[in-house]
Amino acid sequence: MRVFVVAGLCAGLGATSGQAQCPPSETVQAQLQQLNLTAAYRTEEFDLQPPWKLYEKAAARPGKVLVDRSGKLGQAVMVAEIPVEALWMGINDEDHYAEGGYLPVEHSEVIEGTPRGESRILFQYFKRAGVGRWWIDELAMNRQLFVESDGQLWELRWWDLMAERAANGLPEEFADLGLAPIKASRGAWLMIPLSPSCTLVEYVTISNPGGFLNVANWFAAGHVIRENLEGLQRLATEHVPEPHPESLFLRPDGTEIDWRQFSP
């Protein structure tokens, strides 16, 4: 697992040297109490309450990923010293997940819809030590949650399409990988701006990879979840500041994010 210091990378995202990035833990918790967090997908779809203990621990340790896992359910929270727009741009740039080893997938490609658009369909696969899985998900930004929260809740939801897509098998160019499809996966990324240069990120997933991976807990899935959030921080600080003249990035309400604010 890669370990890196996020604070030192934030200068490229417009943070002032020496400036405090994140509010104190008590302030963060007070901010969160003011939000309707039960309107998020985690509660709507899975009947899960906001993970207040993870919030508290993450607020006290900016940059640290806190993971809670039980069976097929995985949850994680981190408070990152990174602007919400940069993190949001990173997580919506799926075609670059695998480049640079940012997120733990071997291939990530939008196969239907517009890359970084309000909704799209994504093909990915994951393989380690000769074992892996492939999947196709539909993703959608939660416009309603963003608008009703006055821009305080940024959510990207996904749900697998395997019931209708698995029968077709892997795309032809990947057939020789010999990978089996996952059984099911649903989840969401939720981002909450705590200050102009600090964001709380919450991740939730309920997944069933099936077969051997089900017995092996999908390569100790807590480790994989942690890699996802740590990789997102790298993606936001290393890839997002690169020039994106031909890329369109959107907020959950469909308005455009100006990528040039993060480019040196």
Whether this prediction's pTM lies above 0.85 is answered by yes
Return d(Cα 203, Cα 77) in angstroms, integer: 6
Share of the chain above pLDDT 90, in %: 69
Compute φ and ψ for 160, nearest 5 degrees: -75, 155
Name the token pair of 211. Answer: 């077969």
Mean pLDDT (the chain) is: 88
Locus of tokens 């416009």: 143
**Residue 162 near residue 183 (C-beta atoms within 8 A):** yes
Q: Tell me the average pLDDT across 70-85.
A: 95
pLDDT score recorded for residue 206: 93
What are the pLDDT digits (tens) for 220-254? 467 889 999 999 999 999 999 999 888 999 999 99
Locus of tokens 């943070």: 15
HSE-up (13 A, CA, CB side) for residue 192:
24
Q: Is the pLDDT of residue 6 over 70?
A: no
pLDDT score recorded for residue 170: 87
| Exposed/middle/buried for residue 211 (C-beta within 10 Å: 0-12, 13-18, 19+) | middle
**Residue 133 near residue 143 (C-beta atoms within 8 A):** no
The distance of Cα 146 from the centroid of its chain, to the nearest Å, equals 16
What are the pLDDT digits (tens) for 108-136? 999 999 999 999 999 999 887 777 899 99
Neighbours of 37 (CB within 10 A): 21
Neighbours of 205 (CB within 10 A): 22
For residue 3, name the pLDDT band (cuts at 50, 70, 90).
very low
- Using alpha carbons, select from 257, 246, 236 the residue that is nearest to residue 91: 236
Q: 113-143: buried (b, 16+ CB within 10 Å) or exposed (e) per residue? A: eebbbbebbbbbbbeeeebbbbbbbbbbbbb
List of domains in the chain? 7-14+25-242 (3.30.530.20)
What sign for the dihedral angle of Cα 93, 94, 100, 103? positive
> Which range, of 41-55, 156-170, 209-223, averages the lowest pLDDT?
209-223
